[in-house]
Structure 1
């Protein structure tokens, strides 16, 4: 059983693969956004990197006691990396962002505050990108994928590809796990009866390197995931209302 350290309120999970040059600048930005506001930890999930990502993280960990690194021996994908980070998290609230620098950590406080103030009814705070900095083809690809997903799942979300999200750890861990889970969090959180809150975030260009994770990387796999989530939503049964009956002699 996971034992939570009482002094850690927030866990920031960053899945990465071959992002060595982006490690140090992003960690500094996370610290700037969160220092003095919450007691937090940063969990980098190194998803089978073959560059200097592991070494960069190990070096920074000597100066930052709240930085942790979890390593996958081989690349298992973004959903698996996020799940590994959430399972290892010590905080009751988890926030995620991509490791390439396109997600600005300055928006983390707004996402975290939504979860803190939303009570038990809000299960997910999802970033919605404005001013996309991707290539024209990637933006078109994302619009098509988001449009198809929205029409089929009716999840009320225009942009599920944004890595900036916050949620309660316990809510995430109750969701059915599959490869591709991170793309369908709004629909699956709604399936469990929770509300979704949205925060507009400003996109920015990648600092360096090339994309290692993408939205619907492989079209066929994306279609199969979409069909699976639709089936899960259709099969969800309402939790029955129960009343305890007691007898008194």
Structure 2
């Protein structure tokens, strides 16, 4: 893991009061270049987009400052991850469904919360999905549970991943979110949490197996399986998957 202090680094040419720190890291078994970037939302200024050479989408211009700060941090993390892989990234656009539009020959994924952003990137086609595990309270867990998993999945999850329900749901929530991000470039359509089902949990390896319940287009078919894993970060935890074309 490579760790840096942001101030004065050419790869992160924004005020060091906004970018607090960042570090590169790898994900087990995957040829992804990753970066976790810590930022201070209170230090965000709109001018940081121009000084960093990152375009602020029109769709974001009226968003609250905290949302724009998260977006900027995510794009900066993507740039640093690309540089660590020897890639020149250029602008990463925004699609109609708010998905990143990666330059040709590059694919990746971005996720963020209120304090840090993470990006994972590689050369090639296919799709990459990463998602920071949310910190769920009891009420939110009760609300989300039937939207994310059905009764059969629930029984499997509680049997194979015992512990606080909030943490168990956070893992499968982020796993399904990862798969959505990784599949979207190929299927080009929105689909629901319940279009994907949990079929296996490997607690020792920190991996889940997910299966499509319906064809989504792009060559996908019912019963198609994907593996999504998760691991701790220096702060928080991350779910991730990589689907090669």
Q: Which has the higher contact order (CA 8 A, sep 6+)?
A: 1
* Larger helix fraction of residues: 1
TM score, norm. by length of structure 2: 0.37
TM score, norm. by length of structure 1: 0.37
